[in-house]
Structure formats: structure tokens, C-alpha cells
Amino acid sequence: MTEDEHPLGARLEDLLRRQAERRGAPMWIREVLAGQTADATLEEEGDARVVATRAGGDRCEIEVRVIFATPPPAGEKLWRPGRVGLPRKGLEKLSYIVVDEIVGDDAVVSVSGWPKVDDRGRLVFSDEPALGVRASVDALTNYVNRPDVRSGQRSTSLRMGSALAAVVRTARLSGGDGSPVPPARWLVPPVYDISTPARAKAKEAFYAAVAPTLSRAEVEAIEQEAPDA
């Protein structure tokens, strides 16, 4: 394929010209972008930038970025814990919320993006760091048990390690002065209590870390063994 035939080249040139017009670029820059370099010199900086300069110190930087979505590794899908009534769609909008620590009347709550599971059933979180928020234990407990907030009939008692799923307004997590943030400000109903499946995942992670996992055949052999064998 020749340069003239390159379908993207002409479009890029057109995009650059339109951007220069919209932003009121000086004529010499428009000439550079149109390929009429006039008296400017062009130098590449790295693999993302071309710098045009001309006598007198005029300068224009043209930056090119290629952005592509990283496909999830094969086998990774969003975690869907059973028996907690999570919605059929929109799991990716939920946050994984853990009561990390309770000091006196306050809980320190850790908020992460909703995890995926890998091909071994392990929870995989994104690289974004977890966010922290301080909340009154009583206020948080009352809020998540409100009939218009909680999902399901069972009441939730919060303790260290309790885990919730909900949409979180992350911009409202900071109390500014470090004081507790009212749950209604950042926690969007409905709130799902996922403590039981989250603890099961923690237990799985722990035992898989300390000893090799068993195969189905090994488990069947163990289960079939007579109790007094």
C-alpha cells in the first residue's frame, strides 16, 4: 500500500486541519499541518510527538496517541456471588466495599472496583488503588438496614470483614477534615450484603496459598474413605 492509499493518513490530516481551525492556530501552523511546511523545521521526539519550529522561536507540538482497550485475559469475567440477589446487569458499576477496621465508634471502609474472577475462580481486582472512607458504625448499620436501602430481608450487622456491594459516589468519600462521612452521601441504594461469599473467597484464597489445591478425584477419594480407615 502506498502512502497515498493509506486510508488513515488522509483522515489524520483532515483531523489536524480541523483542530487547528477550531483553535484559531496561526497560519504558519496550519501550513505545517497541511503538509506545506513553509519555513518550519520538523523534529520527532520519541514515538509520540513531532515538534515544528521556525525562526524567531515559534513552536508547535503535534502529539499522536494510540489508545486501545485492553481485552480482559481469557477466562476472566465479572464476579457474580450467588444467593445475594445482585442485579442481572450492571455488575461493573458496583463497588466492593469492606469494613476493614473498627476503632471505637468509627469504621474505616475500603472501597474497590468490582472484581473479576480468573480461570481458577480467584477474585481479581483492577490496578486502581482502593479508596478509604471513615463512617460511624451506627450510622452505617442503620443506613444499610433501612428498608429502602437494603436488598433482601435479612438484617446486616457490621463487623470487621463485613462486605457490601453497591454503587458508590467515589467523589464524595472524603470528609475533608477526616471526620466520618454520612453513608447516604456516598452509598447508593440498593446495598447488598455479600459478607458470606466474600468470606468464602477469603477462605479459598488462604487455603490455596498455604497448600496445593486438590483435584476432584482426590476429594472423591477422601470423601469415600471409611471414617475409621
What is the contact surface with other proteins in residues (CB under 8 A)? Answer: 96, 98, 100-101, 103-104, 106, 108, 110, 112, 115, 122-123, 125, 129-130, 132, 134, 159-163, 177-178, 195, 198-199, 201-203, 205-206, 208-210, 212
Name the phi and psi angles at 30, rounded to 5.
Answer: -60, -35
Least distance CB 17 / other proteins (angstroms):
42
Residue in the structure block whose three cell numbers are 450487622: 157
Closest C-alpha among 193, 198, 162, 228 to residue 85: 193
DSSP state for residue 64 in the 8-state scheme: -
Q: Which is nearer to other proteins, 37 or 174 (CB)?
A: 174
Q: Which is nearer to other proteins, 33 or 186 (CB)?
A: 186
The answer to whether the CB of 140 falls within 8 A of the CB of 109 is: yes
* CB half-sphere exposure, 14, CA atoms < 13 A: 5
If the CB atoms of residues 33 and 166 are measured against other proteins, the closer one turns out to be 166
Taking the complex as a whole, the smallest distance from the CB of residue 119 to other proteins amounts, in Å, to 13
How far is the C-alpha of 200 from the C-alpha of 187, rounded, in Å? 24
209 versus 229: smaller Cβ distance to other proteins: 209
For the bound state, the minimum distance from the C-beta of residue 201 to other proteins, rounded and expressed in Å, comes to 7
